[in-house]
Amino acid sequence: MKLQFLGGAEEVGRSAILVNDSLLLDYGMLTGNPPQFPVGSVEPDAVVVSHGHLDHVGTVPSLLSGDDWPAVHWTPPTDELARTLARDTLKLHGGSYNCPFTETHVRRMTQQSAHHDYGESFEAAGHEVTFYNAGHIPGSAHVLVDDGETRLLYTADFHTDDQRLVSGTTARPDADVVICESTYSDVEHEDRATVEERFVESVRTTVWEGGTVVVPAFAIGRTQELLMVLDAHDIDCYVDGMGVRVLEMLGNHPDYVRDAAALKRAKSNARVVSGRDGQRKRIARENSVIVTTSGMLSGGPAMTYIPEIRDDPTNKICLTGYQVEGTPGRELVERGRCELNGGVVPVAARAEMYDFSAHADRHGLLSFLDDYRDAPVFVNHGDRCAAFAGELSADGYEAAAPEIGATVEV
Protein backbone atom coordinates (compact mmCIF):
# COMPACT_ATOMS: atom_id res chain seq x y z
CA MET A 1 0.00 0.00 0.00
CA LYS A 2 1.32 3.43 -1.01
CA LEU A 3 0.61 6.41 1.26
CA GLN A 4 1.27 10.05 0.37
CA PHE A 5 0.98 12.66 3.13
CA LEU A 6 -0.28 15.79 1.36
CA GLY A 7 -1.26 17.64 4.53
CA GLY A 8 -1.72 17.29 8.27
CA ALA A 9 1.83 15.94 8.71
CA GLU A 10 3.67 17.57 11.62
CA GLU A 11 0.87 20.14 11.79
CA VAL A 12 -2.80 20.57 12.67
CA GLY A 13 -4.72 21.49 9.54
CA ARG A 14 -5.17 20.66 5.83
CA SER A 15 -5.39 16.91 6.49
CA ALA A 16 -5.00 14.91 3.26
CA ILE A 17 -3.65 11.40 2.61
CA LEU A 18 -3.59 9.75 -0.81
CA VAL A 19 -3.78 5.95 -0.82
CA ASN A 20 -2.47 3.96 -3.81
CA ASP A 21 -2.65 7.06 -6.06
CA SER A 22 -6.43 6.73 -6.24
CA LEU A 23 -8.21 7.07 -2.88
CA LEU A 24 -8.01 10.37 -0.99
CA LEU A 25 -8.63 10.47 2.76
CA ASP A 26 -9.79 13.98 3.74
CA TYR A 27 -8.90 17.21 1.97
CA GLY A 28 -8.88 20.10 4.41
CA MET A 29 -7.44 23.57 4.80
CA LEU A 30 -5.23 25.18 7.41
CA THR A 31 -6.90 28.45 8.31
CA GLY A 32 -4.74 31.55 8.46
CA ASN A 33 -3.90 34.65 6.50
CA PRO A 34 -3.42 33.35 3.91
CA PRO A 35 -4.85 29.85 4.39
CA GLN A 36 -2.81 26.81 3.37
CA PHE A 37 -4.03 23.88 1.28
CA PRO A 38 -2.74 20.33 0.73
CA VAL A 39 0.44 20.16 -1.34
CA GLY A 40 0.76 18.83 -4.88
CA SER A 41 -1.83 18.24 -7.56
CA VAL A 42 -4.21 15.34 -7.05
CA GLU A 43 -7.01 13.81 -9.13
CA PRO A 44 -8.38 10.93 -7.05
CA ASP A 45 -10.97 8.42 -8.21
CA ALA A 46 -12.77 8.79 -4.87
CA VAL A 47 -12.62 10.83 -1.67
CA VAL A 48 -13.46 9.55 1.81
CA VAL A 49 -14.07 12.24 4.43
CA SER A 50 -13.70 11.45 8.13
CA HIS A 51 -15.73 14.33 9.58
CA GLY A 52 -17.08 17.82 9.07
CA HIS A 53 -14.38 20.16 10.36
CA LEU A 54 -12.67 22.68 8.10
CA ASP A 55 -9.20 21.19 8.54
CA HIS A 56 -10.46 17.87 7.13
CA VAL A 57 -13.12 18.85 4.60
CA GLY A 58 -12.52 22.51 3.75
CA THR A 59 -10.93 22.02 0.33
CA VAL A 60 -13.00 19.05 -0.93
CA PRO A 61 -15.14 21.14 -3.34
CA SER A 62 -12.01 22.12 -5.29
CA LEU A 63 -11.62 18.46 -6.33
CA LEU A 64 -14.76 18.83 -8.45
CA SER A 65 -13.18 21.31 -10.87
CA GLY A 66 -12.02 18.93 -13.61
CA ASP A 67 -13.89 16.75 -16.07
CA ASP A 68 -13.73 13.57 -13.98
CA TRP A 69 -15.48 14.16 -10.67
CA PRO A 70 -14.59 11.80 -7.82
CA ALA A 71 -17.28 10.22 -5.67
CA VAL A 72 -17.33 11.73 -2.17
CA HIS A 73 -18.03 9.26 0.65
CA TRP A 74 -19.04 10.32 4.15
CA THR A 75 -21.67 9.94 6.86
CA PRO A 76 -24.91 11.96 6.46
CA PRO A 77 -24.02 14.59 9.12
CA THR A 78 -20.56 15.08 7.61
CA ASP A 79 -22.15 15.79 4.22
CA GLU A 80 -24.38 18.51 5.66
CA LEU A 81 -21.58 20.02 7.73
CA ALA A 82 -19.29 20.08 4.69
CA ARG A 83 -21.84 22.00 2.64
CA THR A 84 -22.43 24.43 5.52
CA LEU A 85 -18.69 25.10 5.82
CA ALA A 86 -18.23 25.41 2.06
CA ARG A 87 -20.97 28.01 1.73
CA ASP A 88 -19.63 29.91 4.73
CA THR A 89 -16.18 29.96 3.09
CA LEU A 90 -17.77 31.23 -0.14
CA LYS A 91 -19.60 33.94 1.77
CA LEU A 92 -16.44 35.13 3.51
CA HIS A 93 -13.80 34.60 0.82
CA GLY A 94 -15.47 33.69 -2.48
CA GLY A 95 -13.58 34.92 -5.53
CA SER A 96 -10.26 35.25 -3.69
CA TYR A 97 -7.21 33.03 -3.15
CA ASN A 98 -8.63 32.18 0.27
CA CYS A 99 -11.41 30.16 -1.41
CA PRO A 100 -10.18 27.71 -4.10
CA PHE A 101 -13.67 26.76 -5.31
CA THR A 102 -17.00 28.22 -6.47
CA GLU A 103 -20.68 27.57 -5.87
CA THR A 104 -20.61 25.34 -8.97
CA HIS A 105 -18.06 23.06 -7.30
CA VAL A 106 -20.21 22.86 -4.16
CA ARG A 107 -23.23 21.79 -6.24
CA ARG A 108 -21.11 19.14 -7.98
CA MET A 109 -19.95 17.89 -4.59
CA THR A 110 -23.58 17.37 -3.64
CA GLN A 111 -24.19 15.43 -6.86
CA GLN A 112 -21.23 13.14 -6.16
CA SER A 113 -22.14 12.54 -2.52
CA ALA A 114 -22.52 8.99 -1.18
CA HIS A 115 -23.76 8.38 2.38
CA HIS A 116 -22.65 5.52 4.62
CA ASP A 117 -23.45 4.62 8.21
CA TYR A 118 -21.07 3.24 10.82
CA GLY A 119 -20.17 -0.41 10.26
CA GLU A 120 -21.29 -0.37 6.61
CA SER A 121 -18.57 -1.49 4.17
CA PHE A 122 -18.50 0.10 0.72
CA GLU A 123 -16.28 0.21 -2.38
CA ALA A 124 -14.25 3.33 -3.15
CA ALA A 125 -11.59 3.50 -5.89
CA GLY A 126 -11.08 -0.27 -5.76
CA HIS A 127 -10.76 -0.37 -1.95
CA GLU A 128 -13.14 -1.74 0.68
CA VAL A 129 -13.84 1.02 3.19
CA THR A 130 -15.66 0.93 6.53
CA PHE A 131 -16.59 3.74 8.92
CA TYR A 132 -16.47 3.41 12.72
CA ASN A 133 -17.70 5.96 15.28
CA ALA A 134 -14.72 8.14 16.28
CA GLY A 135 -16.45 9.93 19.19
CA HIS A 136 -15.24 13.38 18.10
CA ILE A 137 -18.32 15.18 16.72
CA PRO A 138 -21.59 13.84 15.26
CA GLY A 139 -20.82 11.83 12.13
CA SER A 140 -17.06 11.64 12.78
CA ALA A 141 -15.44 8.38 11.70
CA HIS A 142 -12.38 6.23 11.90
CA VAL A 143 -11.74 5.01 8.35
CA LEU A 144 -10.65 1.41 7.68
CA VAL A 145 -9.25 0.92 4.15
CA ASP A 146 -8.56 -2.56 2.73
CA ASP A 147 -6.84 -2.89 -0.67
CA GLY A 148 -6.91 -6.70 -0.59
CA GLU A 149 -3.41 -6.98 0.84
CA THR A 150 -3.15 -4.34 3.59
CA ARG A 151 -5.69 -2.95 6.03
CA LEU A 152 -5.09 0.70 6.94
CA LEU A 153 -6.79 2.34 9.92
CA TYR A 154 -6.93 6.12 9.61
CA THR A 155 -8.05 7.26 13.05
CA ALA A 156 -8.76 10.87 12.03
CA ASP A 157 -9.78 13.01 15.04
CA PHE A 158 -11.20 10.97 17.91
CA HIS A 159 -12.07 10.98 21.60
CA THR A 160 -12.13 8.00 23.92
CA ASP A 161 -14.25 9.67 26.62
CA ASP A 162 -17.96 10.43 26.50
CA GLN A 163 -19.17 13.96 25.87
CA ARG A 164 -22.76 15.05 26.32
CA LEU A 165 -23.13 15.33 22.54
CA VAL A 166 -21.44 12.09 21.44
CA SER A 167 -20.14 8.90 23.05
CA GLY A 168 -16.42 8.14 23.05
CA THR A 169 -15.03 5.69 20.53
CA THR A 170 -14.95 2.00 21.43
CA ALA A 171 -14.07 0.76 17.93
CA ARG A 172 -10.79 -1.11 17.51
CA PRO A 173 -11.01 -2.77 14.06
CA ASP A 174 -8.20 -5.12 13.02
CA ALA A 175 -5.56 -3.26 11.00
CA ASP A 176 -2.07 -3.86 9.61
CA VAL A 177 -1.03 -0.20 9.72
CA VAL A 178 -2.35 2.85 11.60
CA ILE A 179 -2.30 6.58 10.89
CA CYS A 180 -3.04 8.23 14.25
CA GLU A 181 -3.78 11.80 15.23
CA SER A 182 -1.72 13.34 18.05
CA THR A 183 -3.30 16.72 18.82
CA TYR A 184 -3.00 16.33 22.61
CA SER A 185 -0.14 13.84 22.82
CA ASP A 186 1.48 15.74 25.72
CA VAL A 187 -1.70 16.76 27.58
CA GLU A 188 -3.85 15.01 30.17
CA HIS A 189 -7.37 16.44 30.11
CA GLU A 190 -8.97 17.42 33.39
CA ASP A 191 -11.90 15.18 34.32
CA ARG A 192 -14.88 16.35 32.23
CA ALA A 193 -17.29 16.37 35.20
CA THR A 194 -14.86 18.60 37.12
CA VAL A 195 -14.52 20.96 34.13
CA GLU A 196 -18.30 21.22 33.89
CA GLU A 197 -18.61 21.92 37.60
CA ARG A 198 -16.05 24.74 37.50
CA PHE A 199 -17.60 26.22 34.34
CA VAL A 200 -21.16 26.15 35.69
CA GLU A 201 -20.14 27.61 39.06
CA SER A 202 -18.26 30.44 37.33
CA VAL A 203 -21.19 31.26 35.04
CA ARG A 204 -23.71 31.21 37.90
CA THR A 205 -21.51 33.41 40.12
CA THR A 206 -21.02 36.00 37.38
CA VAL A 207 -24.72 36.20 36.59
CA TRP A 208 -25.56 36.42 40.32
CA GLU A 209 -23.08 39.32 40.63
CA GLY A 210 -24.86 41.14 37.80
CA GLY A 211 -22.41 40.38 35.03
CA THR A 212 -22.71 39.05 31.50
CA VAL A 213 -20.92 35.90 30.35
CA VAL A 214 -19.81 35.51 26.74
CA VAL A 215 -18.90 31.92 25.86
CA PRO A 216 -16.97 31.82 22.56
CA ALA A 217 -17.44 28.36 21.02
CA PHE A 218 -16.68 26.51 17.80
CA ALA A 219 -19.80 26.22 15.66
CA ILE A 220 -19.57 22.48 15.09
CA GLY A 221 -19.74 20.31 18.19
CA ARG A 222 -18.65 22.75 20.88
CA THR A 223 -21.66 25.11 20.68
CA GLN A 224 -24.09 22.19 20.97
CA GLU A 225 -22.08 20.57 23.79
CA LEU A 226 -22.16 23.78 25.83
CA LEU A 227 -25.87 24.31 25.28
CA MET A 228 -26.43 20.80 26.66
CA VAL A 229 -24.21 21.55 29.67
CA LEU A 230 -26.07 24.78 30.45
CA ASP A 231 -29.48 23.15 30.05
CA ALA A 232 -28.48 20.22 32.29
CA HIS A 233 -27.70 22.77 35.03
CA ASP A 234 -30.84 24.88 34.45
CA ILE A 235 -28.98 27.93 33.16
CA ASP A 236 -30.82 29.99 30.55
CA CYS A 237 -28.79 31.28 27.65
CA TYR A 238 -28.69 32.83 24.20
CA VAL A 239 -27.07 31.16 21.18
CA ASP A 240 -25.64 33.06 18.23
CA GLY A 241 -23.61 32.42 15.07
CA MET A 242 -23.18 29.46 12.73
CA GLY A 243 -23.66 27.07 15.64
CA VAL A 244 -27.39 27.79 15.36
CA ARG A 245 -27.51 26.27 11.86
CA VAL A 246 -25.54 23.26 13.04
CA LEU A 247 -27.91 22.83 15.99
CA GLU A 248 -30.88 22.78 13.61
CA MET A 249 -29.14 20.31 11.30
CA LEU A 250 -28.22 17.84 14.05
CA GLY A 251 -31.90 17.54 14.87
CA ASN A 252 -32.21 15.69 11.56
CA HIS A 253 -29.65 13.06 12.62
CA PRO A 254 -30.71 11.71 16.03
CA ASP A 255 -28.80 8.44 15.51
CA TYR A 256 -25.50 10.33 15.43
CA VAL A 257 -25.80 12.01 18.82
CA ARG A 258 -25.57 10.43 22.25
CA ASP A 259 -28.91 11.71 23.60
CA ALA A 260 -31.23 13.23 20.98
CA ALA A 261 -33.84 14.13 23.60
CA ALA A 262 -31.29 16.05 25.69
CA LEU A 263 -30.10 17.92 22.60
CA LYS A 264 -33.70 18.84 21.79
CA ARG A 265 -34.21 20.16 25.33
CA ALA A 266 -31.00 22.19 25.08
CA LYS A 267 -32.21 23.69 21.82
CA SER A 268 -35.50 24.70 23.46
CA ASN A 269 -33.66 26.25 26.40
CA ALA A 270 -31.49 28.50 24.21
CA ARG A 271 -32.90 31.70 22.75
CA VAL A 272 -31.67 32.26 19.20
CA VAL A 273 -30.18 35.66 18.41
CA SER A 274 -31.13 37.11 15.03
CA GLY A 275 -28.78 40.08 15.27
CA ARG A 276 -31.33 42.53 13.89
CA ASP A 277 -31.87 46.09 15.11
CA GLY A 278 -29.01 46.19 17.61
CA GLN A 279 -30.19 43.05 19.39
CA ARG A 280 -26.68 41.89 20.27
CA LYS A 281 -25.74 45.13 22.04
CA ARG A 282 -28.97 45.00 24.07
CA ILE A 283 -28.38 41.37 25.07
CA ALA A 284 -24.82 42.16 26.15
CA ARG A 285 -26.24 44.57 28.76
CA GLU A 286 -28.88 42.11 30.00
CA ASN A 287 -26.94 40.20 32.67
CA SER A 288 -27.07 37.13 30.43
CA VAL A 289 -25.15 34.09 29.15
CA ILE A 290 -24.32 34.06 25.43
CA VAL A 291 -22.84 31.08 23.56
CA THR A 292 -21.49 32.36 20.25
CA THR A 293 -18.95 31.89 17.49
CA SER A 294 -16.12 32.20 16.89
CA GLY A 295 -14.30 29.99 19.34
CA MET A 296 -10.97 31.82 19.01
CA LEU A 297 -12.45 35.34 18.75
CA SER A 298 -11.26 35.58 15.16
CA GLY A 299 -14.62 36.85 13.90
CA GLY A 300 -18.33 36.12 14.17
CA PRO A 301 -20.88 37.65 16.53
CA ALA A 302 -18.47 37.31 19.48
CA MET A 303 -16.71 40.38 18.15
CA THR A 304 -19.88 42.41 18.67
CA TYR A 305 -20.37 41.22 22.24
CA ILE A 306 -16.78 41.61 23.47
CA PRO A 307 -16.55 45.40 22.94
CA GLU A 308 -19.82 45.80 24.86
CA ILE A 309 -18.65 43.89 27.95
CA ARG A 310 -14.88 44.44 27.95
CA ASP A 311 -14.70 47.45 30.31
CA ASP A 312 -16.48 45.87 33.30
CA PRO A 313 -14.54 43.33 35.44
CA THR A 314 -17.86 41.92 36.64
CA ASN A 315 -18.31 40.44 33.17
CA LYS A 316 -16.61 37.29 32.01
CA ILE A 317 -15.36 35.63 28.81
CA CYS A 318 -15.27 31.83 29.13
CA LEU A 319 -13.09 30.35 26.39
CA THR A 320 -13.91 26.68 25.82
CA GLY A 321 -11.39 25.43 23.28
CA TYR A 322 -7.75 25.53 22.29
CA GLN A 323 -6.55 29.01 21.31
CA VAL A 324 -4.08 28.86 18.41
CA GLU A 325 -0.98 31.04 18.61
CA GLY A 326 -1.64 34.44 17.00
CA THR A 327 -5.42 34.42 17.45
CA PRO A 328 -7.27 37.13 19.43
CA GLY A 329 -8.35 34.46 21.91
CA ARG A 330 -4.74 33.52 22.66
CA GLU A 331 -3.84 37.21 23.04
CA LEU A 332 -6.71 37.66 25.50
CA VAL A 333 -5.71 34.69 27.66
CA GLU A 334 -1.99 35.50 27.75
CA ARG A 335 -2.00 39.31 27.84
CA GLY A 336 -5.48 40.45 28.88
CA ARG A 337 -6.02 42.34 25.65
CA CYS A 338 -7.80 41.70 22.38
CA GLU A 339 -7.81 42.91 18.79
CA LEU A 340 -11.03 44.84 18.19
CA ASN A 341 -12.00 47.02 15.24
CA GLY A 342 -8.46 47.07 13.88
CA GLY A 343 -6.73 47.92 17.14
CA VAL A 344 -5.51 46.07 20.24
CA VAL A 345 -7.34 47.15 23.39
CA PRO A 346 -7.19 46.10 27.07
CA VAL A 347 -10.03 43.91 28.35
CA ALA A 348 -11.09 44.35 31.98
CA ALA A 349 -13.68 41.56 31.78
CA ARG A 350 -12.23 38.38 33.27
CA ALA A 351 -11.09 35.71 30.80
CA GLU A 352 -11.10 32.05 31.79
CA MET A 353 -10.17 28.83 29.98
CA TYR A 354 -12.10 25.56 30.15
CA ASP A 355 -10.95 22.33 28.52
CA PHE A 356 -13.99 20.96 26.70
CA SER A 357 -11.78 19.26 24.12
CA ALA A 358 -13.27 16.71 21.71
CA HIS A 359 -9.87 15.03 21.16
CA ALA A 360 -8.27 12.16 23.04
CA ASP A 361 -5.53 13.23 25.44
CA ARG A 362 -2.22 11.42 25.92
CA HIS A 363 -3.83 8.68 28.02
CA GLY A 364 -6.60 8.22 25.45
CA LEU A 365 -4.15 8.04 22.55
CA LEU A 366 -1.98 5.45 24.29
CA SER A 367 -5.01 3.44 25.38
CA PHE A 368 -6.27 3.36 21.79
CA LEU A 369 -2.90 2.43 20.31
CA ASP A 370 -2.35 -0.34 22.82
CA ASP A 371 -4.51 -2.54 20.56
CA TYR A 372 -2.10 -1.94 17.65
CA ARG A 373 1.31 -2.73 19.13
CA ASP A 374 2.12 -5.07 16.25
CA ALA A 375 1.20 -2.55 13.54
CA PRO A 376 3.37 0.26 12.15
CA VAL A 377 2.04 3.61 13.40
CA PHE A 378 2.32 6.85 11.45
CA VAL A 379 1.70 9.90 13.66
CA ASN A 380 0.02 12.94 12.16
CA HIS A 381 -2.29 15.87 13.06
CA GLY A 382 -0.27 17.44 15.87
CA ASP A 383 2.33 20.05 16.78
CA ARG A 384 4.78 17.43 18.09
CA CYS A 385 4.28 14.43 15.79
CA ALA A 386 7.97 13.50 15.66
CA ALA A 387 8.31 13.71 19.44
CA PHE A 388 5.27 11.50 20.01
CA ALA A 389 6.47 9.00 17.40
CA GLY A 390 9.80 8.90 19.25
CA GLU A 391 8.02 8.22 22.54
CA LEU A 392 6.03 5.40 20.92
CA SER A 393 9.21 3.92 19.46
CA ALA A 394 10.83 3.98 22.89
CA ASP A 395 7.83 2.01 24.15
CA GLY A 396 8.30 -0.71 21.55
CA TYR A 397 6.13 0.52 18.68
CA GLU A 398 7.27 0.79 15.08
CA ALA A 399 6.39 4.47 14.79
CA ALA A 400 7.27 7.37 12.52
CA ALA A 401 6.08 10.91 11.75
CA PRO A 402 6.12 11.52 7.96
CA GLU A 403 6.79 15.03 6.70
CA ILE A 404 4.53 17.01 4.36
CA GLY A 405 4.81 15.56 0.86
CA ALA A 406 6.35 12.27 2.03
CA THR A 407 5.51 8.97 0.32
CA VAL A 408 5.57 5.73 2.33
CA GLU A 409 5.20 2.13 1.14
CA VAL A 410 3.76 -0.36 3.64
Q: Round to whole Å and give the CA distance between 251 and 261.
A: 10
Can you list the domains of the chain with their CATH numbers? 2-186+358-409 (3.60.15.10), 192-353 (3.40.50.10890)
Predicted local distance difference test score (pLDDT) of residue 14: 94
Which of 282-286, 323-327, 365-369: highest mean pLDDT? 365-369
For 285-299, what is each residue's pLDDT tens digit? Answer: 999 999 999 998 888
Q: What are the pLDDT digits (tens) for 198-241?
A: 999 999 999 999 999 999 999 999 999 999 999 999 999 999 99
Summarised one tens digit per residue, pLDDT across range 244-273 is 999 999 999 999 999 999 999 999 999 999
**3-class secondary-structure state, position 172:** coil
Residues ≥6 apart with Cβ < 8 Å to 63: 24, 27, 42, 43, 44, 47, 69, 70, 72
Q: By mean pLDDT, which of 33-42, 50-59, 221-230 is the weakest? A: 33-42
**pLDDT value of residue 208:** 96
Provide the pLDDT for residue 97.
85
Q: Work out the average pLDDT over 3-15.
A: 95
The predicted-structure confidence for 55-103, as pLDDT tens digits, reads as follows 999 999 999 998 899 999 999 999 999 999 999 999 888 888 889 999 9
* Interatomic CA distance for residues 207 and 286, integer angstroms: 10
Q: In degrees rounded to 5, what are phi and psi of residue 188?
A: -110, 115
pTM of the model: 0.95
